[in-house]
A = this chain, B = another copy of it.
Amino acid sequence: MVCVGNAIVDVLAHTDDAFLDRHSMVKGAMQLIEPSLARVIYDEMPPAIEISGGSAANTAAGMAALGARAAFVGKVADDELGRVFTHDINAAGVSFTPAHATGEQLAAGTARCLILVTPDAHRTMNTSLGVAGFLEPGDIDEELLSQASVVYCEGYLWDEPSAKAAIRKAMDVARNVGAAVAFTLSDGFCVDRHRAEFLDLVEKRIDILFANEAEICSLYEVETVEEAADLVAGHCAIACLTQSEKGSLILGRDGTRLRIPAVPATLVDTTGAGDLFAAGFLASWSRGADLAESGRVASIAAGEVISHLGARPQQDLVALVEAAD
């Protein structure tokens, strides 16, 4: 499996809700910020920890933790955070050869995401994209993708024109080599910004769609997941609609509609929940598991990642899945 996304190091700190209000942040959302604003927010943040993140990168790490062969495509700078990101994803068992920034891009550093975790365990994200946004079609390695059974891309990339072109190329290559195209809508506000194009992707390009409640409702501008489910059913081969503690709804093109319960977990930090759901689902599905089994593994992986700080698995996911059998 090949995952394409923003290569990001997360900078995580605990704050209260007043901190979000003071900086006009929308709880639970991701906003892109300029480096100057990132400096202001960071200066006011409590002591933090640095830990590798990035939505599709988290998914790749989760896939590898579940024993799947996974590769990641993204862009880091030749700096300290770039080395941290590269170390961590390689150490997680994911194949990643950094596409280093060149030329004018050199001034931008590796992407970082300032994540504020509030007492209710929700995370609010402020991303300074740096070189991650310079991902371009030339970074998409056709040779690598030709070995993939699934090519997974994150919607966040749609915010940058060159990265968008890179995803389109990845999707084209995937189609040509017979790989399934998987996609996450990433964020409700991201869907707002790109609704028409995302609708077009869902109808024409995506085989396996991942979205949470806010994202799928934003895509179809409806109020409930059930309404959205009626609208998305039939477009993608599979649509996984996640609803936090309410579990998830998995739709098949043949009209299948499965409810998967959430795995009970002590909620510490929701960062990475959707990413690990996708990892669990795709790692199982690509091995021939049915939708119910794939959804079960997805819920276990998501349950693990929300039980600690940081967006990548810390426990042995294979053992957790076996223990739950």
Contact = CB atoms under 8 A, between A and B. Distances in A.
B49 A51 contact: yes
A220 interface: no
Contact of A80 (B13, B43, B51, B81): B81
Interface in A45-84: 45-52, 61, 79-81, 84
Interface residues of A, number: 26
A178 B184 CA distance: 64
A49 B46 CA distance: 17
Contacts of A314: 14
B51 A50 contact: yes
Contact of A84 (B50, B61, B89): B50
A96 interface: no
Main secondary structure of the interface of A (DSSP, over half): mixed
A157 B206 CA distance: 58
Contacts of A310: 49
Contacts of A88: 47-48
A42 interface: yes
Contacts of A14: 314
A42 B86 CA distance: 11
19 contacts: A13-B91, A43-B87, A46-B91, A47-B52, A47-B87, A47-B89, A47-B92, A47-B312, A48-B84, A48-B88, A48-B91, A49-B49, A49-B50, A49-B51, A50-B51, A79-B80, A80-B80, A80-B81, A80-B109
Interface of A: 13-14, 42-43, 45-52, 61, 79-81, 84, 87-89, 91-92, 109, 310, 312, 314
Given A49-B50, A80-B80, A80-B81, 6 more contacts: A14-B314, A47-B312, A49-B49, A49-B51, A50-B84, A79-B80
